[in-house]
Structure 1
Amino acid sequence: MTSPLVHLDVAGGVATVTLDSPHNRNALSRRLLAELGTHLAAAGRDAAVRVVLVRSSGRVFCSGADLSEARQGTAGDGPRAIVGLQRQIAALPKPVVVELAGAARAGGLGLVGAADVVVAAESVTFALTEVRLGLAPSAISLSLLTRLAPRAAADVFLSGRTFTATEAAAIGLVTRAVPDDALADAVAETVAELVKGSPQGLAETKRLLNGDLLGRIDRDGEEAAERSAALFASPEAQQAMQAFLTRKKPA
């Protein structure tokens, strides 16, 4: 039997969703996206759940799109699934907290952007590397552009550079960055405060906060997914992804 790539545990009003695909650094494969969506939906329906906590096993939170699938031409629905996942997180009637103990790259930042609260260890790094592979962060821009100041978005989108959790907090990508040894306590404190909210209060407050984000996704999501899929299929991106996977320099 195939081991699951995402786990769901419910206790004390908290649904903990753990990404556990170490072989590809929690890349957003079709299977991981499907399992993640299924668990989020289950948490949303569970009357015992007040808060959803998304975390990861291993040293990387999420490495972005599964380039092996994209290179094989089997990721045509991937951008659409990533758009849908951001909408699902934003529309979930319960706060979604992301705990970042490991690096987040490219498409993985879509989960960060769509979440309500993000707590990161100071050692965590981020990068939007799409520009270096002939791609653009089209699908995940739907949530990221609502979080980042325009100048900050231009900087990290165009450069593809690696930046720290402290900078991520300063530009609005994460809620706060804490020392590594304080991460577990900081997340527990955050979740404990959120659990005190009433179901109706939490749901209606999320609706208030995320109205603009959901409107953007509903208006621009399909176009963003189509644009992203076209870029993944382009000769330039295919060559760059192949070079990345084989550790060779692209032409």
Structure 2
Amino acid sequence: MTLETLSVEFDAGICRVRFDRAEAGNTINAKMIDEISAVLQRCEEQTSPPITILVLEGAPDVFCAGGDFEATASSTEPDDPEPLYNLWLRLTQAPLITISVVKGRANAGGVGFVAASDIVLADEGATFGLSELLFGLFPACVLPFLIRRIGFQKAHYLTLMTRPITAEEALSCGLADALESPVETGLRQHLLRLRHLDKTAIGRYKNYMSETADILHQRKAPALDANRALFSDPKVRANISRYVNEMKLPWEK
């Protein structure tokens, strides 16, 4: 596979995907969404050997900083949020175990990848934040996945406060499943156990769990509508452009 935004390794039923836009804080753009979707398609279809585990990783200082504000500021039309929502939805349903390994900062859409993962392993230096309200936005597409993972009030508080939480706080609220230092040691321990699970069994189990907690399908249309309205608001787009061009938040002189 020829990839621009990712580096990918396949080994003995495990696919490791590393976000590879370090110059842009591993922010999400349309190309990254397409490439992760293509990798996921291969993981679902490969049979020899079957891929049963997909690991998502970032750089040591940033897992994923969210949407690409520079692309937003330079575009006259907002991006369609549905491909990203569909990708996260697919991660929750794919017949493989998805693991986010978080070092450094996970922000906004980066938290979306975390919340859509089956297992989240955090390094002791990891942070998790939703900064959207600072710009007049809110994380419409992230919230269904986050609520499903940590509950309404905790997601509500994280959204309102806009401040990053530590790995310890993420573990306490259920956003992270394990806190490891170094996190690679914890990943190895998890893989030793998880690699024995059968792909068909994983798929059946995840399908059952998806139907048990169906908030992701129920809230998809409202989430997409809200996202489109927010990113079409001239005031919001001006706030984003000012931040990109001047590194100033809306209230700063």
Match of 2:186 in 1: 186
Does the 8 A contact of 1:80 with 1:222 survive in 2?
no
Q: Distance in 2 between matches of 1:62 and 1:55?
A: 9
Match of 1:27 in 2: 27
Q: Distance in 2 between matches of 1:195 and 1:101?
A: 23
Does the 8 A contact of 1:117 with 1:175 survive in 2?
yes
**CA deviation vs aligned residue, 1:24-46 (integer Å, no higher than 9, x gap):** 11111111111111111111111
Match of 2:234 in 1: 235
The one-letter code sitting in structure 1 at the alignment partner of 2:233 is S
- Overall identity of the aligned pairs, in %: 23
RMSD over aligned Cα atoms: 1.7
Match of 2:151 in 1: 149
Match of 1:17 in 2: 17
Shift of 1:132: 0.5
Match of 1:88 in 2: 90
**CA deviation vs aligned residue, 1:201-236 (integer Å, no higher than 9, x gap):** 2111222223245x3232321321121121012122
Does the 8 A contact of 2:167 with 2:179 survive in 1?
yes
In the TM superposition, 1:1-251 aligns within 5 A as: 4-47=4-47, 48=49, 49-73=51-75, 76-179=78-181, 181=182, 183-213=183-213, 215-245=214-244, 246-250=246-250
CA 1:202–1:20: 2 relative to 1, 3 Å:
same
Q: Distance in 1 between matches of 2:77 and 2:46?
A: 31
Does the 8 A contact of 1:82 with 1:140 survive in 2?
no
Shift of 1:249: 4.2
CA 1:41–1:231: 2 relative to 1, 3 Å:
same
Does the 8 A contact of 2:60 with 2:104 survive in 1?
yes
TM-score for both structures, normalised by structure 1: 0.92
Q: Distance in 2 between matches of 1:165 and 1:224?
A: 27
Gap runs ≥5 in structure 1: none
Does the 8 A contact of 1:30 with 1:78 survive in 2?
no
Query: For this pair of structures, how many residues does the alignment match?
Result: 247
Gap runs ≥5 in structure 2: none
The one-letter code sitting in structure 2 at the alignment partner of 1:57 is A
The one-letter code sitting in structure 2 at the alignment partner of 1:247 is M
Q: Distance in 1 between matches of 2:76 and 2:39?
A: 23
Q: Distance in 2 between matches of 1:77 and 1:178?
A: 36
Q: Distance in 1 between matches of 2:178 and 2:242?
A: 36
